[in-house]
Amino acid sequence: MYKLHDALQTNDTDRLQQLAHALKSAAGNIGAQSLSALAVQLEIAVRTKRDNITDLTRDLAQQLEEAMQQWLEVLEARQTEEIEIDSDRAELIIEPLKALLRIGDIKAIDIAEREAALLRGVLGKTQGNELLHLISIFEWEKALDILERHDD
């Protein structure tokens, strides 16, 4: 959005056309057809030197901001979704993970990444994220401590 405004303010029509083209493609790739169509309109307006470039740029920036906000809301909702925890499956993941952490085996990272949703579901989002972070930086003992404290 800022790049669009900057290109418009500096009257950099080449840059504005490039940005509109990139947004057209990106929006089309993710299925945001109205955003893509507006980017096409801006791209054509810049290329043909129409009078409505400022209005189209403003509209495109506004629609882009709204789309980004919607995507963020969807992502946040997915991160906070409650997942149904299968306690047997959780135990089948957590016990081997503890064993790997005890010996400092790097395979713990693979398991943690693959089972991140389950670990967050079992431990809660905050503790789950901390566990994943500790494992990613090879803090095996601290990660193990989180899992063992959870058992108590």
Is the pLDDT at 80 greater than 60, yes or no?
no
| Poorest-pLDDT segment among 29-38, 102-111, 118-127, 143-152 | 29-38
Tens of pLDDT, residue by residue over 2-36, are 788 788 889 898 998 998 898 888 888 878 888 88
pLDDT of residue 99: 96
pLDDT of residue 142: 96
Asked if 144 and 101 count as a contact pair (C-beta separation under 8 A), the reply is yes
| The Cα angle at residue 116 between residues 121 and 134, in degrees rounded to 5 | 105
- For range 97-110, the mean pLDDT: 94
- For range 95-108, the mean pLDDT: 95
Is the pLDDT at 143 greater than 90, yes or no?
yes
pLDDT of residue 127: 93
